Structure 1
Amino acid sequence: MPTPATLVCTLRARTGPHLARFVSAWQVRYHTKVIRFEGFVSADLLSPVSPESNDWRLIVRFRTQPQLDLWRTSPEHAWLTAEAHELLDENAVFQETIGPEAEHQQPPHSVTEIIRSEILPGMEDAYRAWTQKTQHTQSQFPGYRGVHVIAPIPGQSNEWTTLLRFDNLDNLDRWRHSSERATLLEEARLVIQRTEITRLDSPFPGWVPLDPTTGANPPKWKTGLLVLLGLYPVVILTIRFITPHLTALNPTLAILLGNLLTVTATTYLTVPFLVQRFAWWLFPNPKSPPQTQLKGLTLILLLIIIQITLFWGLM
Structure 2
Amino acid sequence: MIDLAKGCVHEPDPPSAPDSVSATAVTVLARPVDPVGLGSWLAEFASSAQSADGFVESTTSVYADERLDLAIAVTFRDESLLNGWLDGPARAGVLRVGSARGFHRAATDLVLVDGEPTPPGVAVFRHTVTAGRVDEFIGAQRDLTAASTQFAGYEGTVVLPPGGSGEWTSLIRFRTERLLAAWLKSTERQDALSPLRSTLDEDFSTFTQTTPFGTTVRVEDGRTKLTPGWKSAMLVLLVLYPTVMLLSRFVGPILEGMGAGPWLTIWLSQVLSISLLQWVLMPFAVRRMRRWLDPVDGAGLGVTLRGVAIVGAGYVITLAIFATITRLQYWDYR
Q: TM-score, normalised by structure 1?
A: 0.46
Structure showing greater Rg? 2
Q: TM-score, normalised by structure 2?
A: 0.44
